[in-house]
Structure formats: C-alpha cells, structure tokens
Structure 1
C-alpha cells in the first residue's frame, strides 16, 4: 500500500454553524489530496493525456474537528482494474491520532482527447499499487 499524505491546519473557512468542520469540507480535502497524489506521482505524459472523474463517494464521519487543529489527510489506491480505480482516505487529528473520517471514492480514468473512459495501464497501476 503506497500512502500519500499531507498535513493541514483547519482554517476558519472550514467551520460551519455548529462550530466544527463542515462535512463537505472533509470530502473536498479527500479529493484535493487524491489530485495531489496523481500530480506528484504520474508521469507528465499521462497527466496531459488523461484525467479522472468521480463515479461514487462513500464517507463515514467518526469525530468532529475544530478551527486550528492539525490534521493528517491520507490516501491510497486499493484497486485499479479496467477503467476504474478505488481510492481510500483517512483523516486523523494529529494531537490524539483520533480518526475523524474514513472514505472511499471510485474514479474513472478518461482520455482527454476522446473524453471516453480509458483502460488503466500497467505502468499507472505499478505507480499507485
């Protein structure tokens, strides 16, 4: 399992009317870290010829987080077959290692020129699995 992660500090803009991080913000952080993982790992030729679209999200909210807290957002690819890839995520609070979110996303690999789903090559699989 090849984990990609980044640490973030919860900004005031992430806080909702209940004084904790808005649920949609967690999902955005998951998508953002997935995109960063792709951009930091995939060769430029693939980045310029292909892109990913979301087919499905599954997310479990375990604990709240609050402004100023340091969080770790982790992601890893669990499956890449045909035109689809499944990616997992975990968001934890660094101070107590408490899990805040577990999530999965099913992505579809798409060729830019044709705008059609494309088979995930063995080269891409090897980079992420």
Structure 2
C-alpha cells in the first residue's frame, strides 16, 4: 500500500526503461523531471485541459520554478508510482503542483518535488491571466 503524502492523489505508473539509467547504474535525475512532466500532462489531460484547448485559447502553463528532493535511487525495470496534486492556484497566473514518486515493490518514497507553473500566451511566451477554463480546471486538489 502506498502512503501518499496528501489525499486525492492523481496517479500514474511507469516502468523504468533502460535509457533512463545513467553511468551510476540508476535513474538519472533528469529522468525524474520527465516523470514529473509526464504526470503533470496526464493530469492536465484528465482535467480536460489538453494541448488542443491550450492552442485554441492561446494559453499554456510553463514551469517557472521546480524544487526536487531525491531521496533514494530507482533502477531499470522497476515500477514507479507517480502521484501529483495541485496545492495552490492564485486565481491569476500561477498554480503549484506537488509530486511524490514511490517504488511499487517496497512503497519507498524516492522523490518529493514541487513546481510553480505560470500561465503564458503561446504566441509570445509572456505571462497572462489564466482563462476561465484554467481557473475552473486547475482547482486545488489537496491542501498542504
């Protein structure tokens, strides 16, 4: 059983591929960032806010600041459960998303992280207020 840090987790399971392994023999730290982005997109799509809507609205969320605590290594072939939550929405231009990555075999937490995402215009990359669709879709899913 996974001991998630917060309730109402959005989960995704990934199996560590060979190409994620670095010279140290474990998952490279940049791969964890890919896993975090992967679940953020998965959750975004589940919320009905996929790329098609982003393009139609000329708005998107981009990572502004990410903090990661690497707690233990993962290895090729292991199943990892990735969890995410939206823990803040300022109602203007940004949301904060938390992450937890857990090894399925022993339920050990391997990573905790958070990213502040900022709404931008796709055509200029400049910060813009979130449209109504983002305000409604990116609701806080768990309190810290």
TM bucket, shorter chain: 0.7 to 0.9
In the alignment, is residue 22 of structure 1 matched against residue 28 of structure 2?
Answer: yes
Aligned residues: 129
Query: Deviation string for 1:53-102 (max 9, x for gaps)?
Result: 11111000001111111100111111111201111000000111100000
TM-score by length of 1: 0.88
In the alignment, is residue 71 of structure 1 matched against residue 59 of structure 2?
Answer: no
TM-superposed CA distance for 1:46, in Å, is: 3.8
Residue aligning to 1:87: 97
Distance 1:2 1:111, change over 3 A: farther
In the alignment, is residue 99 of structure 1 matched against residue 98 of structure 2?
Answer: no
Distance 1:43 1:29, change over 3 A: closer
Query: Deviation string for 1:82-124 (max 9, x for gaps)?
Result: 2011110000001111000000001101233554322235653
4+ residue segments displaced more than 6 Å: none
TM-score by length of 2: 0.79
**Within 1, Cα distance between the matches of 2:49 and 2:37?**
20
How much is the aligned-residue C-alpha RMSD, in angstroms? 1.9
- Structure 1 stretches of 5 or more lacking a match? none
In the alignment, is residue 62 of structure 1 matched against residue 68 of structure 2?
Answer: no
- Which structure shows the higher strand fraction? 1
